[in-house]
Amino acid sequence: MEPFRISLMLRSVYDTLPSPSNLHQWGLIEEPSCKLCGERGTMAHILSGCKVALTQGRHRWRHDKVLKHLAEILDIERRKKRPSTTEAKQIRFVREGDTGHATKSQQHFILDKGSEWNMRADIGKKLVFPECVHTTLRPDIVVWSQSSKMIVAIELTVPWEERCEEAYKRKKEKYTELMTTCRERGWKAWLFPVEVGCRGFPAQSLWRMLQAMGIVGKPRKTAVRQLGEAAERSSCWLWHSRDDLSWKPSADE
Ligand SMILES: [Zn+2]
């Protein structure tokens, strides 16, 4: 990581960054207010609480940066060739101590249960939910198999680290009915709300989802690290442009 990012991350954790709120406390400025909205400009406010930043699409922009990365990782996984159900059964009769596919199929990863997986990601708010259910809800990622009648919905949040659990519960609630409807129509359905903290610390929910999808071991570690970095890098950008009133989502592209 570049030194300035390590420094920003550490200083954000210990709240020693020159936020308006800190500068005020240190006696360096008169007003502790956020340049965008006038509320108290703490680090948490600037990176995840500011309503004006939200309206300008800053948080969405960061969210989509992480989402794009997550979608790429899952897209590679869902395209992998999987043993057919019969092959998977045969593979279980292997020598003792032999690992590889046998271990994999015994662990019952979701993607190993079906075949011909499709995927859609809600980048640019364009997702249309698969035809199995009519809904206006748009989870961030949907992976589904028409032939196996299986569907996985993944909802990403990039909150202030301390609010990961709250985000998880909220998102779980939001999509529960949709998942129930899928099941009533004969589909096997899984829902995974996942959080990547905006200072670069992914929640346990992300590890669990990757594991359930069959991304384990070193690839999982790498994925988690990269997603944390994507969130943190975008937060850095938002931090550095905190006083830029004319900020546009395309600013760094
Ligand atoms: Zn503000």
Q: In the chain, what percentage of residues exceed pLDDT 90? A: 64
Choice between 81 and 87, residue whose per-residue pLDDT is larger: 81
* Ligand 1 midpoint to CA 54 (Å): 9
122-173 pLDDT, tens digit each: 987 778 899 889 999 999 999 999 999 999 999 999 999 999 999 999 999 9
Residue from 163, 126, 165 nearest 142 by CA? 126
* Ligand 1 midpoint to CA 242 (Å): 9
* Ligand 1 midpoint to CA 42 (Å): 9
* Ligand 1 midpoint to CA 12 (Å): 17
Q: Is the pLDDT of residue 93 over 80?
A: no
| CA-derived radius of gyration, the chain | 21
In whole angstroms, give the CA distance from residue 51 to residue 35: 12
Residue from 125, 120, 209, 146 nearest 172 by CA? 209
pLDDT for 102 equals 47
Three-class DSSP labels, 31-86: CCECCCCCCECCHHHHHHHCHHHHHCCHHHHHHHHHHHHHHHHHHHHHHCCCCCHH
Within a domain: 186: yes
Within a domain: 47: no
58-77 pLDDT, tens digit each: 999 999 999 999 999 999 99
* Ligand 1 midpoint to CA 193 (Å): 27
Give the pLDDT band of residue 244 (cuts 50, 70, 90): confident
* Ligand 1 midpoint to CA 3 (Å): 27
In whole angstroms, give the CA distance from residue 111 to residue 75: 11
Residues sharing a CB contact under 8 Å with residue 171, sequence separation 6 or more, in sequence order: 155, 157, 193
* Ligand 1 midpoint to CA 133 (Å): 39
Within a domain: 141: yes
Domain count, the chain: 1
pLDDT for 91 equals 52
* Ligand 1 midpoint to CA 34 (Å): 5
* Ligand 1 midpoint to CA 35 (Å): 7
Residue from 197, 226, 229, 198 nearest 210 by CA? 226
Within a domain: 23: no
Do the beta carbons of residue 189 and residue 142 sit within 8 Å? Answer: no
Amino acid (one-letter) located at 214 = G
Both tokens of residue 70? 């997550």
Within a domain: 164: yes
* Ligand 1 midpoint to CA 8 (Å): 19
pLDDT for 231 equals 94
pLDDT for 208 equals 97
* Ligand 1 midpoint to CA 140 (Å): 26
pLDDT for 172 equals 97
Within a domain: 52: no
In whole angstroms, give the CA distance from residue 84 to residue 90: 10
Range of the domain at 177: 57-239
20-44 pLDDT, tens digit each: 988 888 888 888 999 999 999 999 9
* Ligand 1 midpoint to CA 47 (Å): 9
| Mean pLDDT score of the chain | 87
Within a domain: 72: yes
Within a domain: 177: yes
* Ligand 1 midpoint to CA 238 (Å): 12
